[in-house]
């Protein structure tokens, strides 16, 4: 390896990110994911060659350090971490990188195919461990979407309630979809609805966007503040876009409702009751859009 280009195509096994993001541990006084950082380092090394061997790596440190974006001491720390995790083997002055297929087996993950990621070394905010975190959010979103689709197929009565309610109370009938069902949920929460419609329309949550508490649990954070900090970091690096959504308020004093049934506390949503104003507010989660332009 003589030179390292500024734009590199990194490869990372599809689905592996979700297996790594919650492996956190307390190091000194900081809670950190050493495994994630080791995979960041390992993926950078894998991008340098196709044969899996880096010969005489000590002499190549001037090129490897900018690629991995770490200091000399951190390089050796990550190198030892990778060796302990079974990602590579140190053979004198050579580094023997294990194949992705063997690495996936270590984490009980079946290797299928790669994510191909465009990585720009000139971008000062680029850090591959955040790419892995964005991939994990994307892979979790894919699973949530499949679960929502499954619930759609298993509950035809919800579609019937959706279409019937729209025909009777709206000016036009939207095409049945997770987005349209969610819009009807917000509409009936604010305006109220006959109980037969309300119960069916709110039978399950069709919104693929998750709360910071869910992200906290997914990533193994000790606090939801860490999940908020992660969102800000991913947004800063252009990996996700976070949009705030307006809360939905139901005023129990409002007599102009569609039915006797009013909004109530829902297990699937975050709602709060204000006894002073006699109203209940549904605070919608942030809309997190994963920018997949970096994935081929």
Give the pLDDT confidence score for residue 3 in this predicted structure.
54
The pLDDT of residue 1 is above 50: no
Percentage with pLDDT > 90 across the chain: 47
The pLDDT of residue 2 is above 80: no
pTM of the predicted protein model: 0.85
In tens, the pLDDT along 109-138 reads 889 888 888 887 777 777 888 999 999 999
The residues spanned by each domain of the chain are 7-124, 136-294
Strands, DSSP E only, in the chain? 7-13, 25-27, 30-32, 53-54, 88-91, 94-97, 114-120, 240-243, 248-251, 271-274, 279-282, 287-290
Give the pLDDT confidence score for residue 190 in this predicted structure.
87
Classified by CATH at the fold level, domain 7-124 comes out as: Arc Repressor Mutant, subunit A (1.10.10)
Range of weakest confidence among 89-103, 139-153, 232-246, 252-266:
252-266
Contact 78, 68 (CB under 8 A): yes
């Amino acid at each position: 390896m003589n030179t390292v280009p500024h734009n590199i195509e990194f490869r990372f096994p599809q689905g592996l990110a979700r297996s790594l993001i919650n492996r956190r541990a307390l190091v000194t006084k900081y809670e950190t994911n050493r495994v994630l950082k080791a995979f960041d380092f390992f993926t950078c090394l894998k991008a340098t060659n196709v044969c899996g061997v880096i010969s005489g790596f000590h002499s190549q440190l001037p090129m490897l350090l900018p690629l991995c974006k770490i200091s000399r001491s951190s390089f050796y720390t990550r190198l030892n971490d990778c060796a302990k995790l079974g990602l590579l083997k140190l053979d004198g002055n050579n580094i023997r990188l294990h194949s992705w297929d063997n690495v996936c087996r270590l984490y009980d993950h079946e290797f299928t195919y790669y994510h191909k990621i465009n990585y720009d070394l000139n971008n000062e905010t680029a850090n591959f461990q955040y790419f892995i975190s964005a991939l994990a959010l994307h892979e979790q979103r894919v699973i949530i979407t499949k679960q929502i689709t499954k619930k759609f197929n298993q509950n035809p009565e919800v579609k019937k309630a959706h279409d019937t309610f729209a025909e009777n109370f709206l000016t036009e009938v939207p095409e049945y979809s997770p987005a349209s069902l969610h819009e009807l949920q917000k509409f009936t929460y604010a305006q109220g609805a006959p109980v037969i419609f309300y119960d069916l329309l709110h039978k399950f949550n069709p919104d693929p966007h998750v709360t910071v508490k869910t992200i906290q649990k997914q990533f193994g954070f000790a606090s939801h503040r860490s999940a908020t900090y992660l969102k800000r970091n991913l947004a800063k690096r252009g990996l996700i876009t976070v949009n705030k959504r307006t809360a939905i308020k139901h005023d129990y004093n409002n007599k102009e409702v569609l039915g006797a049934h009013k909004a109530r506390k829902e297990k699937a949503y975050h709602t709060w009751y204000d006894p002073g104003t006699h109203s209940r507010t549904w605070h919608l989660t942030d809309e997190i859009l994963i920018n997949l332009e970096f994935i081929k």
